[in-house]
């Protein structure tokens, strides 16, 4: 990575330069932290902590010791995120039902809403790689914290193994092995990313029309025979405690949702890919990510935990007040 060099000019310019560099880097830093944690709230805390540490180091050293500000920030954010990830493992093992990442809206409404309403603007600008789909983040949860860090930093964000080693606290050779193990695991379980965006969009809209129109035949034609549905209610709202497997069971569950009353679906870009927002009585109740291969839906990820929907809900309320 090509990085600017900073040296203290002793006239107050260093603070301005640091702030400008940090603000320019912030979306990428958030992307790195989110890729490691799957939580934008935790990612923001990590990035803010890194900024405070940078300012503290600059004040203590006069800026002379940190010549590579960008590199320092990336490594520090990665280290802090790794610490948070290690401490979060136990909490996620005790989580009620399937754990899904906090969804990020990375784009506006794709077309007019399927029924009514409009999608909120992205709540936060994050440099999110397209591979960080909800389905991919679910796969990354099965890696060890060190494997996940090596894979995300090297394979997704392009850091060298020497830089990865600084973050993980291991040698470049050890990090290369970590990334290789993670890569093999991901290759066997991760969704494909060669889907044409227009085809993905077409399947998403067809899925919404089938669900809303009580068209079971159309829905069955869209679902892969081995489709999996994961619903994250976090113990806060009604959701399955285990993933639902198979086309028949998933289709029945999707149609059973109508028992709780009519709802609306709004197309949006979720974690870089076309997805849907589900509303009931004007209230956001789910963000849906769909994984598609060969024209069929292989995974349906539904985030319903109100805590994980809070950011999108706030953005929606702000938009409606304009």
Note the pTM of the prediction, 2 decimals: 0.83
Condensed to tens digits (0 to 9), the pLDDT of residues 136-190 reads: 898 999 999 999 999 999 999 999 999 999 999 999 999 999 999 999 999 888 7
Taking only the tens place, the pLDDT of each residue in 206-241 is: 999 999 988 899 999 999 999 999 999 988 888 888
Structure tokens at 283: 């209230």
pLDDT grade for 73, boundaries at 50, 70 and 90? very high
Q: Alpha carbon 91 to chain centroid distance?
A: 18
- The C-alpha atoms of residue 322 and residue 317 are separated, in whole angstroms, by 9
Q: Tally Cβ neighbours within 10 Å of residue 158.
A: 10
pLDDT digits (tens, 9 = 90+) for 86-101: 988 777 777 888 899 9
Model confidence at 103: pLDDT above 50: yes
Q: Containing H/E element for 275?
A: strand 273-280
Picking from 194, 193, 218, 192, the residue whose alpha carbon sits closest to that of residue 207 is 218
Confidence of residue 57 (pLDDT cuts 50, 70, 90): confident
Contact 223, 250 (CB under 8 A): yes
């Amino acid at each position: 990575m090509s990085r600017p060099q900073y040296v203290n000019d002793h006239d107050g310019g260093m603070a301005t330069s640091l702030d400008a560099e940090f603000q320019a880097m912030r979306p990428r830093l958030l992307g790195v932290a989110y890729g490691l944690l799957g939580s934008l709230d935790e990612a923001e805390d990590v990035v803010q902590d890194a900024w405070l540490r940078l300012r503290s180091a600059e004040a203590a050293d006069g800026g002379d010791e940190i010549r590579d500000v960008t590199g320092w920030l990336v490594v520090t954010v990665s280290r802090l995120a790794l610490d948070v990830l290690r401490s979060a493992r136990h909490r996620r093992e005790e989580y009620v039902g399937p754990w899904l990442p906090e969804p990020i809206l990375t784009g506006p409404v794709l077309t007019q809403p399927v029924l009514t309403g409009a999608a909120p603007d992205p709540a936060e600008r994050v440099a999110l790689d397209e591979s960080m789909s909800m389905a991919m983040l679910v796969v990354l949860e099965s890696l060890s914290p060190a494997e996940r860090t090596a894979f995300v930093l090297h394979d997704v964000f392009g850091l060298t193994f020497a830089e990865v080693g600084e973050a993980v606290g291991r040698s470049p050779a050890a990090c290369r092995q970590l990334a290789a193990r993670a890569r093999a695991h991901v290759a066997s379980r991760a969704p494909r990313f060669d889907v044409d965006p227009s085809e993905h969009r077409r399947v998403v809209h067809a899925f919404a029309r089938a669900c809303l129109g009580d068209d079971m035949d159309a829905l069955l034609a869209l679902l892969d025979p081995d489709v999996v549905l994961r619903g994250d209610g976090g113990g806060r709202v009604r959701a399955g405690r285990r993933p639902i497997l198979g086309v028949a069971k998933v289709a029945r569950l999707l149609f059973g949702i109508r028992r709780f009353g009519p709802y609306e679906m709004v197309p949006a870009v979720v974690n870089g890919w076309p997805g849907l927002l589900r509303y009931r009585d004007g209230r956001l109740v789910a963000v849906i990510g769909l994984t598609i291969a060969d024209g069929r839906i292989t995974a349906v990820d539904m985030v319903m935990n109100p805590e994980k929907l809070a950011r999108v809900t706030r953005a929606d309320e702000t938009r409606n007040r304009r």
